[in-house]
């Protein structure tokens, strides 16, 4: 198996040409927001260009934990005279970000409005040494964006940026080492198979884990799909193919106990919608591979507890025509998320969790060792 697709992305949607050529680009939200950027390692700065389908204000931020709290945000707009306004802001909580009163560290270079899109090029240092900013580290950065429908009117007392409502999003991007994902056209003509939910009615509760057997992010539900996992079932697992288990994970856990350990694929909000495996390795399927059953676990974060939402998200795998040299697998380790294993004391600013694996965890490793292609650390808002 060559690659994984968790949702179809049409690539860059902005009809406006960027001001220059960049090393990286990504569609932040389909047909709504696009981002280009280049890192200048010598100058230790990063140049962004943000295009958003609006004639109001637009904003891009670096978040320490995925939300607004503590985020460092560059906010800008182009007024009716074509002048660009740009502000360095900081979010202390879930309210309008305030203008940074320490130093101005986001600088606009140029901007324009064209064909209903607002486009602004701007830059900042990777590390500004400003207490109201967030350092752009090597590794994964949490990028947030938002936009409004109208420009601020700074001549009025109430003329600040308007509330964005649900016009916002989050992406996890390694800004300094991003690998541009391939186009899906590269795999045209290859066989594929999918694990997908079928119009599942999402409960109007904040958190739901839904599990299904045997079988892409539904564009209509990107606001509530938090992450999904595909598990291998132990070869000893036996099921009735005409009546496979499906339902809330906790409720059917006794039936799928042999299908909740080995991970075959994982995706979480903020990740790219297409991932290609290394050229020399692939994930084995069929043939003499002993896995017959797979289970998909979908985590819904329905924070507004909306009802009457149905979802058909899932994941697609493309199958290569030639056997690759090495087999891929997944190694998972960590700490169980329960009070007996992971209990953070009250009123502490920092709490380290140490996990140790027994020798059994590596007893099947070859003597030559294993090669890690990528890592996926996963915690919720309290983890770093």
Q: Which residues are catalytic?
A: 209, 378
The encoded tokens of residue 346 equal 């009250």
CA-based nearest residue to 332, from 268, 270, 375: 375
Contact in structure between 328 and 2 (CB atoms under 8 Å): no
The 10 Å CB-count burial string (b at 16+, else e) for 153-169 is eeeeeeeebbebeebbb
Q: Which DSSP state fits 31?
A: T
- Distance of alpha carbon 81 from its chain centroid, rounded? 37
Please state, in angstroms and rounded to a whole number, the distance separating the CA atoms of residues 99 and 74.
Answer: 10
- Distance of alpha carbon 309 from its chain centroid, rounded? 21
Expressed in angstroms, the distance from the first to the final Cα of the chain is 32
**Measured on CA atoms in the order 335, 338, 341, 343, is the torsion positive or negative?**
positive
The encoded tokens of residue 366 equal 């070859």
CA-based nearest residue to 163, from 273, 57, 89: 57
Q: What angle do CA 373, 66, 328 make, to 5 degrees?
A: 15
Please state, in angstroms and rounded to a whole number, the distance separating the CA atoms of residues 100 and 72.
Answer: 9
Region for residue 238 given its phi and psi (left: phi exceeds 0; alpha: psi -120 to 50; beta: otherwise): beta
3-to-93, 140, 193, 314, 372 alpha-carbon distances in Å: 39, 21, 11, 14, 17
The DSSP result for 25-70, as a single string, is EEEEETTTEEEEEEEETTTTEEEEEEEES-SS-EEEEEESSSSSTT
Q: Which DSSP state fits 250?
A: H
The encoded tokens of residue 260 equal 């909740």
């Amino acid at each position: 198996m060559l690659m994984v697709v968790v949702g179809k992305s049409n690539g860059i949607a902005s009809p406006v040409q960027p001001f220059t050529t960049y090393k990286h680009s990504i569609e932040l939200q389909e047909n709504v927001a696009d981002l280009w950027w280049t890192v200048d390692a010598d100058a230790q700065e990063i140049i962004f260009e943000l295009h958003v389908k609006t004639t109001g204000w637009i904003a891009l931020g670096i978040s320490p934990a995925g939300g607004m709290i503590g985020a460092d945000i560059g906010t800008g707009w182009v007024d009716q005279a074509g002048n660009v306004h740009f502000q360095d802001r900081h979010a202390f909580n879930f309210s309008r970000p305030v203008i940074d009163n320490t130093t101005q560290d986001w600088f606009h270079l140029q901007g324009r409005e064209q064909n209903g899109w607002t486009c602004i090029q701007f830059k900042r240092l990777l590390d500004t040494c400003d207490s109201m900013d967030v350092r752009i580290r090597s590794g994964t950065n949490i990028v947030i964006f938002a936009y409004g429908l109208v420009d601020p009117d700074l001549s009025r007392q109430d003329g600040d940026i308007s509330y964005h409502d649900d016009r916002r999003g989050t992406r996890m991007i390694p800004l300094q080492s991003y690998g541009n994902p391939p186009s899906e056209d590269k795999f045209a003509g290859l066989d594929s198979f999918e694990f997908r939910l079928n119009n599942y009615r999402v409960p109007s509760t904040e958190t739901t884990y839904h599990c299904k057997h045997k079988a892409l992010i539904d564009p209509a539900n990107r606001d509530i799909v938090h992450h999904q996992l595909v598990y291998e079932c132990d070869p000893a697992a036996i099921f009735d193919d005409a009546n496979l288990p499906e339902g809330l994970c906790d409720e059917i856990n006794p039936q799928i106990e042999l299908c909740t350990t080995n991970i075959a694929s994982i995706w979480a909000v903020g990740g790219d919608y297409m991932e290609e495996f290394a050229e020399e390795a692939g994930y084995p399927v069929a043939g003499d591979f002993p896995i017959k059953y797979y289970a998909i676990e979908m985590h819904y974060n329905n924070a507004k507890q909306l009802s009457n939402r149905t979802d058909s998200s899932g994941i697609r795998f493309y199958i290569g025509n030639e056997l690759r040299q090495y087999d891929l697998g997944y190694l998972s380790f960590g700490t169980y998320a329960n009070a007996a294993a992971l209990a953070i004391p009250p009123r502490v600013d920092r709490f380290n969790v140490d996990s140790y694996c027994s020798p059994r965890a590596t007893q099947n490793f070859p003597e030559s060792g294993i090669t890690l292609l990528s890592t996926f650390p996963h915690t919720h808002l309290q983890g770093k």
